[in-house]
Amino acid sequence: MDDLADIVELLRDPEHGCPWDKVQTHESIRKNFLEEAYEAVDAIDLNDAHLLCEELGDVLLQVALHARMEQEQERFSLGDVTTGICEKLIQRHPHIFGDTQAESPQAALDNWEAIKRREKHRETLSANLDDVPKTLPALMRTQKIQKRVSDAGYVCGEEEARARLAESVRALEHASRDTAGAALGALLFDAVNLGRILGADAEESLTRTAREFSEQAKCADEAVRSQGCGPKEWPATPTV
């Protein structure tokens, strides 16, 4: 970590640093952080340890760059970042470093969330909802918002969720071009809600289905091209 910090400091040096690295800002490399994180997740999905090692290094570089920018403004350093996460891990694992009990993964997660709410002063539903990052992918953000509303006592039961989803399907079926966007948003929202109640993760579920559809589409394309012709008929949805 010290070597990484030293290298990034050299790259950011105003006089002798890299012409690209030394002029970057938080805003200019914001999207790089997202891209590197997604590439690391892709390596996990591919079960490629070599690639994952490389991609984790790229994510770590983003952390080091942002920390260096803050150190240049005398606000915090990479050392402060690592110290902060060490302290957080100890504080949020009282069943390991204290006398709290946690006999299951869910109990440990509940401990973590309860401590996090106290630390961030999220005593109200409004504070809990404002804490959900606005930059999350839409499905993931929707599910987090729904869970926090449900945890606050505003519970939608399975039967009601199914009825809402059925109504949203009908609304989209009868939507015009002017109303299709709102109808589709409501349908997706209600589908995420029912999936959450049934224990399905919306982001992971759609990712898996899209991947399966992509593979099916490639197989269909290869099959028709092997016969010397173009695509004739695509499946509407993959077989799952």
The 10s digit of each residue's pLDDT in 2-59 is: 999 999 999 999 999 999 999 999 999 999 999 999 999 999 999 999 999 999 999 9
The 10s digit of each residue's pLDDT in 75-109 is: 999 999 999 999 999 999 999 999 999 999 999 99
Model confidence band, residue 121 (pLDDT cutoffs 50, 70, 90): confident
Residue 161, exposed/middle/buried by CB under 10 A (0-12, 13-18, 19+)?
A: buried
CA distance 93 to 101: 10
Does 190 have pLDDT greater than 80?
yes
Task: Find tokens 């994510």 and name the residue.
Answer: 59
Query: Is residue 70 within 8 Å of 87, Cβ to Cβ?
Result: no
The 10s digit of each residue's pLDDT in 138-188 is: 999 999 999 999 999 999 999 999 999 999 999 999 999 999 999 999 999
CATH of 2-76, one of 1.10.287.1080, 2.40.50.140, 3.40.50.1820, 3.30.460.20: 1.10.287.1080
| Structural domain boundaries in the chain | 2-76
pTM of the predicted structure, to 2 decimals? 0.77
Q: Write out the two tokens for 49.
A: 């340890």
Q: What pLDDT does 240 receive? A: 47
CA distance 197 to 240: 20
Does 204 have pLDDT greater than 60?
yes
